[in-house]
Amino acid sequence: MKKKLSLITLLALSVQGLFAQGLLSHLNDTTNKRSLFERVTNIEKKNNLFNLKLHMQATFNGAFTDGTFKQAAFKMNQLRLEARGDINDWLSYRWRQRLNSSNTPHALDNLPSSIDYAMLSVRLTDKLVTSIGKQAAAYGGFEYDLDPIEIYQYSDMIDYMLFDFMTGITFSYQITPTQEIALQAVNSRTASMDDIYGQLPGDVEESRTPLAYTANWNGNFFNDKLKTRWSYSLLSLAKGYNNHFYAIGNELDLGKFNMYLDFYLSDEELDNRGIISSLYRLQGDADCIKNARYESWVTKLNYRFQPKWNIFVKGMYENASVYKHIDQLEKGKYRTAYGYFGGIEYYPTMENLHFFASYIGRSYRFTGKAKALGAENYSTSTLSIGLIYHIPLF
């Protein structure tokens, strides 16, 4: 308890340091939305041909495991550079790259995991748009849909996802001003089978068409008070092995108060997320597990009690199980994970900059089946202060 109190004091002093040292003073923050280039040169951009932004999330974290203090350190969680623009009224582009991620190209798509977007969008009609290249998979759910820079901690369902930014093609059709459907075909993986799954069962053969197909529906109702992000995806993992991924997201927006509730279900004939396989491998080298199931409920509530202040809480309930026994692990649940977050955000002058203080708690509980493999219950917690800034460079 004394260590936690000491860390809280240190976090508070660090907050004072952030403001006192004026880390952002050279950016001349105002409510003006002009880019840094426009402010420095006093030359106004006349078109939307090229826009450049730097996205960053920096924190000072204090980490605990089972109540025992482990570490306190500064960390640059996110640092992404993005360029996008409209070449004309029917053609646009987007590129975004993580500056603190691996730049080694993967075997299948010849692109590194650091690149989120490298795509062109073509407006075929007033209602139909196609996007070609590396892009976000068109999954539903509001946690998945949020800008990664704004996420303090993902659920395990998203955090262990290996197929969020993929190369392929998407067609989006706006049925009405408030309803949109999207159909997408992308690669189901980026790297080789061995890199993703490790040791594979002997009967698993590589698919000749390692593709993922997604149908997505986005809806707005009651003047944007209720929004939906629903999807179904079929991913070809290997020859004869697929992944069925369902995402149902609903958001309620009442002005000062908003919340979302997401449900995710992933039936994986080969364990793509690897959580169940990691339990199986506690006893030594073993094949990737077949027939893994992951289920997640995620909710977040925000209350903007003052124009510059927001408080939030977030909860997660997630299960990992085997849905059918073949020749590896017996059927049943192996792990339940709980997430409980809370925090406060301060927006000093504009929406694209805010400071925050947060608490992130995670608890992992294993069933008798998992404990027989060597798993043990544990919990983690993290106290953080930091900033999130979307810097308009040009």
In 21-88, at which residue ranges do the beta strands (DSSP E only) sit? 51-65, 68-86
SS3 state at 196: helix
pLDDT value for 138? 96
Question: pLDDT tier at 245 (50, 70, 90 boundaries)?
Answer: very high
CB 188 within 8 A of CB 236: yes
Q: What is the DSSP letter of 149?
A: G
pLDDT value for 46? 63
What mean pLDDT is predicted for residues 228-257? 96
Whether pLDDT at 28 is above 60: no
Q: How far apart are CA 150 and CA 388, in angstroms?
A: 7
Q: By mean pLDDT, which of 133-147, 245-259, 278-292 is the weakest?
A: 278-292
pLDDT value for 162? 82
Question: pLDDT tier at 40 (50, 70, 90 boundaries)?
Answer: low
Question: pLDDT tier at 285 (50, 70, 90 boundaries)?
Answer: confident
What mean pLDDT is predicted for residues 169-173? 98
pLDDT value for 107? 85
pLDDT value for 236? 95
Helix (H) or strand (E) holding 48: none
Helices (H), the chain: 2-20, 36-41, 142-145, 156-159, 193-197, 275-280, 368-371
Q: By mean pLDDT, which of 44-48, 158-162, 329-333, 376-380 is the weakest?
A: 44-48
Q: How far apart are CA 22 and CA 189, in angstroms?
A: 43
Q: How far apart are the first and last CA of the chain?
A: 47
Count the Cβ atoms, other than its own, within 10 Å of residue 16. Answer: 9
pLDDT value for 286? 87
What are phi and psi for residue 290, nearest 5 degrees? Answer: -100, 155
pLDDT value for 283? 83
Whether pLDDT at 53 is above 90: yes
User: pLDDT, tens digit, for every residue of 54-74?
Assistant: 999 999 999 999 999 999 999
Question: pLDDT tier at 17 (50, 70, 90 boundaries)?
Answer: very low
Residues 6+ apart with CB under 8 A from 21: none
In terms of C-beta density within 10 A (0-12 exposed, 13-18 middle, 19 or more buried), how is residue 304 classed?
Answer: middle
CB 253 within 8 A of CB 261: no
Residue with tokens 């004394």: 2
Whether pLDDT at 5 is above 70: no
Q: How far apart are CA 157 and CA 144, in angstroms?
A: 10
CB 48 within 8 A of CB 83: no
Q: How far apart are CA 227 and CA 252, in angstroms?
A: 7
pLDDT value for 50? 93
Whether pLDDT at 217 is above 60: yes
Q: How far apart are CA 245 and CA 188, in angstroms?
A: 12
Q: How far apart are CA 5 and CA 272, in angstroms?
A: 40
Beta bridge partners of 122: 91, 130
Nearest Cα to Cα of residue 69 among 377, 381, 365: 381
Question: pLDDT tier at 9 (50, 70, 90 boundaries)?
Answer: very low
User: pLDDT, tens digit, for every residue of 315-343?
Assistant: 999 999 999 987 789 999 999 999 999 99
SS3 state at 352: coil
- What the block records as the tokens of 262 is 């997401």
